[in-house]
Chain A
Amino acid sequence: MEKVRILVVDDESGFTRLLKLTLEKTGNYSVLEENDATRALEAARGFRPHLILLDIVMPKIDGGGVAQQLQADPSLKKTPIVFLTAIVSPAEVTPGALIGGFKFLAKPVSLAALTKCIKENVPQARV
């Protein structure tokens, strides 16, 4: 069975590494880390992820800017983006919360919450 591809864009390499290890350990996911936000578009074009996890506060370009770039690309337009961030207030991150058309997940996130979110947004992952 084809693994669900997750692109995680976050300048915290420690976090992305552990996220990759944890998700891939389940056997269901293939995760690509990108710690340089300016290269996120390039990575996405090459990796063709089912879902993109996007940090907001990053050097050079923030998550919002990256999201604009991704959505401007016709091949990535339909790829769901979930902001995984430390700045949102918990009140705004009730499960499934939608802010400005985007999904949000608050750091720190449990594996259960993460996989639940992926399953909600990637039909393939529900199998």
Chain B
Amino acid sequence: MISPPSHFRVILVEANAVDARLLDAMVEASRSGFKVEWSVATLAEALKIVESNEADVILLDLALPDSAGIDTFKTVRAHSGRLPIIVLSSSDDEELALFTMHEGAQDYLVKGQIDSRLLLRAMRYAVERHRVEEALALERNLLRNLVDNLPDYIYAKDADGHYLIDNAAHMRLLRLGKQEDIIGKTVFDFFPPEIAAQYHADDQAIISSGNALINREEPSLNAAGERRWLSTTKVPLKDHQERPTGLVCIGRDITEQRLAQEQLKEANAELSKSQQDLLRALGDLKSAHEELRSVQLQLIEAEKMKSIGRLAAGVAHEVKNPLAIITMGVEYLLNQELSESSAGVLDDILAAVKRADNVVRGLLDFSAPKNLEVRTEDLNAVINQSLNLVRGELGPGFKVIKELDPNIPPLNLDNAKVGQVFVNVFTNAVHAMGSTGVLTVRTYAKQLTGVGENIGDSRSESFRVGDTVVVAEVDDTGSGIPNDKLNKVYDPFFTTKPTGKGTGLGLTVTKTIIDLHAGTIDIGNRPEGGARVKIMFKA
């Protein structure tokens, strides 16, 4: 509540000097804090003082020398802002006085019926009402400003959907200029029928259920018919008896936000795709690295072979000379008169020398540089010839299955050396099987369609996709090769056979010969058991 100031200044506009004095005296006599500060008789004088804006209330006679009737009031009203005006009317013109009330006069008094109490009360009410109105207007303006300055769309509707309040942002959205354009209207005045019906149904659901709708994201249209996304909160309005009277809505345009979210989503998807690409590239890199490693290992192996070769030549010479002496010595002794046991001992010595010599021969065989005697050959014939050579090793417990494709193309190869390869492979297979088993030999031709279809392909410089290769597979039903030994099988002196049964050079020689033919050899275990040797030559 605003406390009244102790002193109120009054403008008295009265053409009749007697009346003026009388009224002045009444004000004076009331001792109420009101004081006639200005007493004038014409409209012109009155306006001058009104415009100085220092007065608290006007006592206004409508019949002035320079203006009369309602015009007097309107002119003063127009110049006085919200200054409270109390109209002084003559008794015969009460209708006019009443009319001024409609136009904003605080009160009217009929001259001749005024006493000081009445006058005081009218002035007090006028000033007090003016204060309250000012305060209310201030508050209303504050709220209005608040509502209008918020960027969110704010409006209230009654229970039937008529707009009661609408803020500037929402009016801009609907492209409306004045409150009058929307107050009292409904969504059906602004939106296409289906959309309006939907909005109206939503509103009615909230009003009838009494449940608020909080931050629902929904598509909407602006006045230009553009699709926008809104986040909407609608709260039902209720009277003091909890009866629904309408709703208030706060909406926010989140189109940009949605757009940003969608862009973020797309960016995320792209990122995840990039990440996948990266992972794939990393995988490729890894396998390239693996390949490089394997090539490096092969290079190291080749280097190893070379030094072993040099060593072998030296060792061979140094070993063979003493072996030659032992051999010659034993031969000499064998031609003497000997007991049977002595002759046996000498035979054993000769056999041992032969074994030692075989090791040295093997060493030279794989390490010495070779010249191939290449001719066009039928691989099947070479295989048959090698099978014949190992026939002696195959006891009655063995079965040989030949699946040789007669249509494989002829190959350029060294008959004797490739024959040696198959003799080695067959001998290994037979040794792995013991006394019984099945040896399967298979040949076929095929076209390489992809690097991945055989690991041998990618290791070989000589094979390309599209090349036709001739494949020979030798399967046995033996014990197979322990997985941790698979990469050692080509190492010189590596053997799984008991001492004396193998030199450990067979597969080393085999690999050297295959390499000289630019072919590949793969040794692995078959899932059914036993080992498979797969040899490929380019057709």
Instruction: Give residues in A with beta carbon < 8 Å to B.
Output: 12, 14-15, 18-19, 21-22, 25-26, 57, 86-87, 89-91, 106-111
Contacts and interface: CB of A to CB of B under 8 A. Distances in A.
Contacts of B316: 86-87
Nearest to A13: B325
B165 interface: no
Nearest to B319: A86
A18 B361 contact: no
A89 B317 contact: no
Interface string B327-365: 111011011100000000000001001000100010011
A86 B331 contact: no
A110 B327 contact: yes
Determine the main DSSP class of B at the interface with A: helix
A25 B331 CA distance: 10
7 contacts: A18-B332, A86-B320, A108-B324, A108-B353, A109-B328, A110-B331, A111-B331
Interface of B: 313, 316-321, 323-329, 331-332, 334-336, 350, 353, 357, 361, 364-365, 368, 370
B332 A22 contact: yes
Given A86-B317, A87-B316, A108 B335 contact: no
Nearest to A57: B317
3 tightest A-B CB contacts, nearest first:
A86-B320, A107-B324, A108-B327
Contacts of A21: 332
A22 B335 contact: yes
A87 B328 CA distance: 18
B321 A15 contact: yes
Contacts of A25: 332, 335-336
Contacts of A86: 316-321, 324
B324 A15 contact: yes
A7 B75 CA distance: 159
Contact of B325 (A12, A91, A110, A111): A12
Given A107-B323, A107-B324, A108-B320, A90 B332 contact: no
B313 A87 contact: yes
Contact of A108 (B323, B332, B365, B370): B323
A106 B320 contact: yes
A19 B335 CA distance: 13
Contacts of B370: 91
A18 B324 CA distance: 10
A106 B327 CA distance: 12
B321 A12 contact: yes
Nearest to B369: A89
Residue in B323, B332, B334 with the greatest tally of chain A CB atoms within 10 Å: B332
A25 B334 CA distance: 11
A14 B324 CA distance: 10
B335 A90 contact: no
B325 A89 contact: no
Contacts of A108: 320, 323-328, 353, 357
B320 A18 contact: no
A107 B331 contact: no
Residue in B319, B329, B350 with the greatest tally of chain A CB atoms within 10 Å: B329
B366 to A, nearest CB: 10
Contacts of A106: 320
A39 to B, nearest CB: 20
A14 B321 CA distance: 10
Contact of A89 (B328, B353, B364): B364
Residue in B323, B325, B353, B368 with the greatest tally of chain A CB atoms within 10 Å: B325
Nearest to A86: B320
Nearest to A91: B365
B325 A15 contact: yes
Contacts of B335: 22, 25-26, 111
A107 B318 CA distance: 11
A18 B319 CA distance: 17
Contacts of A110: 327, 331, 350
A89 B368 contact: yes
Nearest to A56: B317
A21 B330 CA distance: 11
Residue in A91, A108, A109 with the greatest tally of chain B CB atoms within 10 Å: A108
Given A25-B332, A108-B353, A110-B327, A90 B320 contact: no
B480 to A, nearest CB: 32
A59 to B, nearest CB: 13
A26 B350 CA distance: 19
Contact of A18 (B323, B325, B365): B325
Contacts of B361: 89-90
A30 to B, nearest CB: 16
Nearest to B326: A108
A87 B325 CA distance: 15
A22 B333 CA distance: 8
Residue in A12, A22, A26 with the greatest tally of chain B CB atoms within 10 Å: A22
A4 B319 CA distance: 30
A19 B317 CA distance: 18
Given A89-B368, A90-B365, A107-B323, A19 B313 contact: no
Contacts of A87: 313, 316-317
Contacts of A14: 325
B324 A109 contact: yes
Nearest to B323: A108
Contact of B364 (A90, A107, A109): A90
